[in-house]
Amino acid sequence: MLQAGTRPILERVLDALIDAGVDDLHLVVGYGRDRVRNHFGPTYRDRTITSHVQETQLGSGHALLQAADAVDDDVLVVNGDEVVSAAAVRRIVESHSRESVATLGVIDGDNPREYAWVSLDGDRVTTLVENPTPGAYRLFNAGVYAFGPSIFSEIQATPQTNGERALTDAVTELVERTGNVRGVRVDSPRADRVVRR
161 Cβ contact partners less than 8 Å away, ≥ 6 residues apart: 59, 169
Is residue 118 within 8 Å of 141, Cβ to Cβ? Answer: yes
- DSSP H helices, 7-67, are 9-19, 33-40, 60-65
Cα–Cα dist 85/188, whole Å: 6
Q: How many CA atoms lie within 13 A of 46 on its CB side?
A: 2
| 3-state SS assignment for residue 97 | coil
Q: What is the pLDDT of residues 113-162, one digit of tens each?
A: 567 889 999 999 999 988 776 666 688 899 999 999 999 999 999 999 99
Going from N- to C-terminal start, the domains of the chain cover 56-189
Structurally, what CATH architecture does the domain formed by 56-189 represent? Alpha-Beta Complex (3.90)
Q: What is the pLDDT of residues 39-48, one digit of tens each?
A: 899 999 999 9
Its pTM stands at: 0.87
